[in-house]
Amino acid sequence: MYPQTMPRNSWYMAAFRDEITREPFARTIQNIPLVFYRLQDGRAVALLDQCIHRQMPLSLGYIENDNIRCCYHGLVFGPNGQCVEIPSQESVPALAKVQTFQVVEQDGLLWIWIGDPEKADPANIPPCPWLNSPDWVGATGILHMNSRAQLLNENLLDLSHVEFLHPGSIGASKLSSFPITVDADEKSIRVTRIMDDIECPALFKKAMDLPDRIRRTQTAEWFAPGFHVTHIGASPVGADDEDQFRHKALHWVTPETDTSTHYFWALYRNYRLEDDEGLTQMLRDAHHAVFCQDVDACEAIELALQRYGQDSPPYVNIKVDNGSLKSRRQIESMLREENI
């Protein structure tokens, strides 16, 4: 069955760069309420969003220089979590310290480590070069999902639902009948489907002005526990350049609680790069609609899981679940490693 919890000793995408400012910003990740803000030099910090005195959310307070002041009794905490002022008394107990969390900003994304601090290695944060490259342009979005994170991981590693869940946009007839190949190492998985000659979906026509039949390639690549790159290629059948039009659909799946998830996404393209806000907006809207269908599917399944608890009727796996099931095994193995 789908794991409900996710590993803790992992980097999770916490926010897009612009979300974190000089105002307190609250977001719960892995059941932990967090407050984020930027220091005067621009660095981002993350603290437990709870005053050590009376449990008041610090995110309701005020940023003062590099510190945050609780709105209830005015206690002030530094970016390292240490309390530096209690307005009603002279002394501050050394123990008066709020928990902090390591964050790293890379490629315009803020990543957070909520597990054992000694195991945090920023070198393990997956790069997202497309976000900052002159050769790519695109749009981003955030969705909130009332389902466990793994349901979305499995959705994204499964290329076959595209035909049925997304008709009228990226779905195409017979798509599911093309074979997939799956390739995995310890913490990543790649599922590839090459469609040499297939119907051109509605959205591709609109964006790339392609003919009725195209060559289409799709590789869903996953880096455990929650980062996905869907590599998408399209070209007229028989074209010299087999991947004339390319998309990178990026997905960051970050657990909010055991049954809710932050779904960050980006959709970048390698064509019509300049000065085409209209195309960018159209692709943003179209993919927002597509990803909402995925969210709806995960939420419907989560409701079914919660209705049945442990007594769910038996279910059946099919061949194209190969990639999804491998990701489930990897998550389970990571959880075992952490004794969760």
Q: Per rule CB under 8 A, is residue 39 in the interface with a copy of itself? A: no
Binding mask 144-183 toward a copy of itself (x if CB under 8 A, else -) reads --------------x-xx-xxx----------xx--x---
CB of 302 to a copy of itself, least distance (A): 9
- Residue choice 10, 30, 50, 219 for contact with a copy of itself (CB under 8 A): 50
Q: Per rule CB under 8 A, is residue 307 in the interface with a copy of itself? A: yes
For residue 95, how many other CB atoms are within 10 A of its CB?
A: 7
Q: Per rule CB under 8 A, is residue 311 in the interface with a copy of itself? A: no
Q: Which is nearer to a copy of itself, 300 or 340 (CB)?
A: 300
Binding mask 81-110 toward a copy of itself (x if CB under 8 A, else -) reads --x--xxxx---x-xx--x-----------
- Residue choice 14, 47, 52, 68 for contact with a copy of itself (CB under 8 A): 52
CB of 295 to a copy of itself, least distance (A): 13
Residues in contact with a copy of itself by the rule CB under 8 A = 31, 33, 48, 50, 52-57, 60, 69-75, 83, 86-89, 93, 95-96, 99, 158, 160-161, 163-165, 176-177, 180, 297, 300-301, 304-305, 307, 312-320
